Amino acid sequence: MLGHPGCGKTTLAETMLFESGAISRRGTVQEQNTTSDYTDIEHERGNSIFSTLMHDDWRGNKINVLDTPGFDDFIGEVVASLKVSATALVLLNAKSGVEVGTEILWEYVEKFETPCLFIVNQVDHEKADFDATVEQAKARFGSKVMPFQYPLNPGTGFNTIIDALRMVMYVFPANGGKPEKKPIPDSEKSKAANMHQAIVEAAAENDEELMERYFELGELSEADLAYGLKMAIAKRTIFPLFCCSATKNMGSGRIMGFINDVCPSPAERAPVKLEGGGELKCDPNGDTTIFIFKTHHEPRVGSISYFKVFSGTLRTGDELINADNRTAERFGQLFLANGKNREAAQELKAGDLGCTVKLKNSHTNQTLNKKGVDRKIDPIPFPNSRLEVAVQPPSKNDMEKLMKALHAISEEDPTLKIIQSATLKQTLLEGQGQLHLDLVKHRIEQEYGVGMEFIRPRIPYRETITKESNEMYRHKKQTGGAGQFAEVHMRIEPWQDGMADPHGLTVRVKDVDELPWGGKLAFYWCIVGGAIDTRFSSAIKKGVLQKMEEGPLTGSNCQDIRVCIYDGKMHPVDSNDMAFMTASIQAFRANFEKAAAQIMEPIYDVEILCDGDVMGDVMGDLQTRRAIIMGMDAEGHYQKIMARMPLAEMYQYSSTLRSISQGRAKFNRKFAEYAPVPAEIQQKLIADHKAQMHEED
């Protein structure tokens, strides 16, 4: 179940459970007693944060339901759920139409090639506009969107649905539930008949025999129609559209019946793709293979692993082998889940979803197989992060406790990345947005009792040079015993692949090294006549690398520099590795100051999708962030802005974008390149670094 926040997914899921008899009373989001949204944080926020596994028993069939969050900050929960779903139910709000949250989710529906139903919910709202919502859906998702129903009287008095598939009118009692079937009024017969004709033609197009039968009889039997529609939905040639009021329990039973009768089962879906090529059919008689799509930690229970059986039959007590780490896991208990309620199961067959507890070495995105079987399901393609913050505990003593808590949460949430940056000397968190990271902070404090603070992360600037410089440095130190002596003559210049040898120098040895932080160091040994013994070359290079690791301007890494050692002096007694290392550090520093040094900053490609009416505000904000607009385009009824923005200007951008667009925009970012910072910013960075060094001294 997918949709923008507020479209009614949790309420519809609750109504579906009630209609199937899985629960005896419908809960509400307001009363905080729904089967889904059962955690404390979801009760506090009034929104879905986690995906929730539930199931209905409908006419002898088990239908698994995954309710997912609407906010794109929690897109990881959605993507993982889509990975194991046979059909996507995309909910649209009859009042608001197609919202940007739905746009975001649709990208993944397309990526997974998931069959899809659209549900226009809240047709009982006073501002409901069913027709406009359908037109928006067709404009954004294509002509495959095909209405199977429409509300006869949308708005506060809604209680009637015209069903063009069955050519019947459903009239619901005031409290919802089972409707009364009535003939379609004369005023609606033509509209309903046209819709029915389109449905039948769409069903017949997927099979030559059906098409011949349709041409011959002008109609299809109920069985033929169901078969044709099942094929059409499985092949994604149509996306049926239904309507309902989840709050009033009007229309949900019909949706459940259609899912049961027509939507493809896991066995009728295309085989799942395996890593490295190959496919795996959904066969309960095959060798057992399961895939863990979600891990969740519950107090007093521990780690709960949610999985799909892609092949074979998993039974209580079975032992499977993890294809990633080759460890064995025994499944002592199997459960069927309805939110936080779990009932024991003896076995789960191919296509089914379930959960277990206390797996020792198996986590989200991992495959487990029967012993002797070696295959891995293609992993879930979790999206790249869009926001980065640095974290710090109240005291150094709390750091170890904080890191344990963060790693425990990141095990549940693969979209949360923890980075120990030696370059920036900070612990960084990367996530999908401010709301995502705020939730992590809340959980750390509430569940693990550790305080933490978000601070602005340092920027991984780079330092380089733009012209040639020649300098020497003599290191001479005399103590009571042996002294230290080394003299190094050094040339530095900008490095580019394929550049000519240095003019006026005889190159003896060339070393071009990839630096750990990116870029290169070209180190040329150009000593003629033995002025410096070659045994000191390693110490000189080590000194250069040491200074490049903490550059002269801001302490940032240096890159793309050629260093030529062309002359110097040594002493038979006082020269040693330490002396030459010190001399090379100082020679490099002196050279750097005269070589027109340049600070480089990371630049990101940013793609923003927004409504046309907020496009001006979005672009105005980009200009304040030193962004360069690279282009604009239309995507459906949204506008797409492509820009390049410095990382230094992207701090808390997700919060700002959500604010200026009222939540009707999204963005993605990807590292593009390093580029020179403007002169005035370079001067400020250098001044700030000097002030910081002065304070530390």
Q: Do both 477 and 446 map to the same domain?
A: no
Both tokens of 680, joined, read 């005035």
Rounded-to-integer distance, Cα 263 and Cα 265, Å = 6
Q: Which residue would you say has higher pLDDT here, 647 or 611?
A: 647
Q: What is the pLDDT of residue 214?
A: 79
Q: Which of 270-279, 497-506, 662-671 has the lowest mean pLDDT?
A: 662-671
DSSP for 379-410?
A: PP-PPPP-EEEEEE-SSGGGHHHHHHHHHHHH
Q: For residue 445, tell me if it sits in a domain.
A: yes
- Report the amino acid identity of residue 388: E
**Tens-digit pLDDT profile for residues 560-581:** 999 999 999 999 989 999 999 9
Query: Which one of 569, 595, 621 terminates a domain?
Result: 595
Q: Do both 32 and 52 map to the same domain?
A: yes
Average pLDDT over residues 363-372: 96
- Report the amino acid identity of residue 47: N
CATH number, position 520: 3.30.230.10
- Return the percentage of the chain with pLDDT > 90, whole number: 78
Q: What is the pLDDT of residue 531?
A: 93
Task: Please count the structural domains in the chain.
Answer: 5
Q: Do both 515 and 451 map to the same domain?
A: no
Both tokens of 536, joined, read 């000191």
Average pLDDT over residues 179-184: 96
Both tokens of 476, joined, read 């001479």
Write down the residue that tokens 């170890």 correspond to: 400
Query: Which one of 433, 455, 477 terminates a domain?
Result: 455
Average pLDDT over the chain, rounded to an integer:
93
Q: Do both 287 and 399 map to the same domain?
A: no
Q: Do both 233 and 337 map to the same domain?
A: no
Query: Which one of 431, 455, 479 terminates a domain?
Result: 455
Secondary structure of residue 592 in the 3-state scheme: helix
Q: Do both 248 and 323 map to the same domain?
A: no
Q: What is the pLDDT of residue 696?
A: 66
**Tens-digit pLDDT profile for residues 255-277:** 999 999 999 999 999 999 999 89
**Tens-digit pLDDT profile for residues 29-69:** 999 999 999 988 898 888 899 999 999 999 889 999 999 99
- Return the percentage of the chain with pLDDT > 70, whole number: 99
Rounded-to-integer distance, Cα 525 and Cα 120, Å = 73
Res 479 pLDDT > 80: no
Sign of CA dihedral 9, 13, 14, 15: positive
Q: What is the pLDDT of residue 480?
A: 64
Q: What is the pLDDT of residue 62?
A: 95
Both tokens of 8, joined, read 């009614």
Q: What is the pLDDT of residue 697?
A: 59
**Tens-digit pLDDT profile for residues 510-537:** 999 999 999 999 999 999 888 999 999 9
Q: For residue 382, tell me if it sits in a domain.
A: no
Q: For residue 375, tell me if it sits in a domain.
A: no
Q: Which of 95-109, 169-183, 276-290 has the lowest mean pLDDT?
A: 95-109
What φ, ψ does residue 588 adopt, rounded to 5°? -65, -45
Q: Do both 59 and 199 map to the same domain?
A: yes
Q: Which domain holds residue 36?
A: 9-265
Q: What is the pLDDT of residue 425?
A: 87
Rounded-to-integer distance, Cα 272 and Cα 282, Å = 8
Both tokens of 566, joined, read 């062309």
β-bridge mates for residue 63, sequence order: 56
Q: What is the pLDDT of residue 191?
A: 96
Who's near 382: CB < 8 A, 6+ residues apart?
Answer: 76, 79, 80, 414, 415
Task: Identify the band that residue 209 occupies on the pLDDT scale cut at 50, 70 and 90.
Answer: confident
Res 11 pLDDT > 80: yes
Q: What is the pLDDT of residue 218?
A: 78
Sign of CA dihedral 380, 383, 384, 388: negative
Res 334 pLDDT > 90: yes
Res 637 pLDDT > 80: no
